[in-house]
Amino acid sequence: MTDIDTLIPDSRRDLLERPLFGHLGTIRPDDTAQVTPMWFEFDGEHVRFTHTTKRQKYRNLKRNPSMALSIVDPDNPVHYLEIAGRLVEIVPDPEGAFYVRLQNWYGDPSTTPPANKADRVILVMSIERTTHQ
């Protein structure tokens, strides 16, 4: 059993494996929280997000890599999974391929990259602790 298996209970793992929106929280420069609904992908070890280098969330994470993700079960809204972690990697995605993959996973079939593809990156989040109900 890996650390991830002990952090994510079997009863909530499906929340990471379905195309659900997560709410990603970061810390602004004034130490207030910014929370935004986001597409994400769980690779079995990390959570990955598509983003651009031109937005506030990116600047927040460059300054303070702490982040948290909350996912609510739409079939049973009192069930949720919260993941706390850190930004551990920024992967350039100048063709927007990861964006297109998530776009398709979330039900909007397309092969067209976004207009801002040159600024696209993949934000990679570690999973350090979780809470759930």
> Per-residue pLDDT tens for 7-28?
999 999 999 999 999 999 999 9
* CA atoms of 7 and 77, how far apart (whole Å): 21
For the chain, give the number of residues: 133
Percent of the chain beyond pLDDT 70? 98
Paired tokens of 86: 């850190």
For residue 37, which of 54, 53, 51, 18 has the smallest C-alpha distance? 51
Paired tokens of 115: 């207009």
Q: Three-state SS for 12? A: helix
pLDDT confidence of residue 2: 60
Look up residue 113 and give its amino acid.
Answer: P
pLDDT confidence of residue 1: 46
Give the domains, in start order, of the chain with CATH numbers: 3-132 (2.30.110.10)
Position 100 pLDDT exceeds 60: yes
E strand spans, 1-133: 22-27, 33-38, 41-42, 47-52, 66-72, 80-92, 120-125, 129-132
- For 45-62, how does the pLDDT look when each residue is reduced to its tens digit (9 = 90+)? 999 999 999 999 999 999
Helical (H) or strand (E) element with 86: strand 80-92
Average pLDDT of the residues in 93-111: 95
pLDDT confidence of residue 106: 96
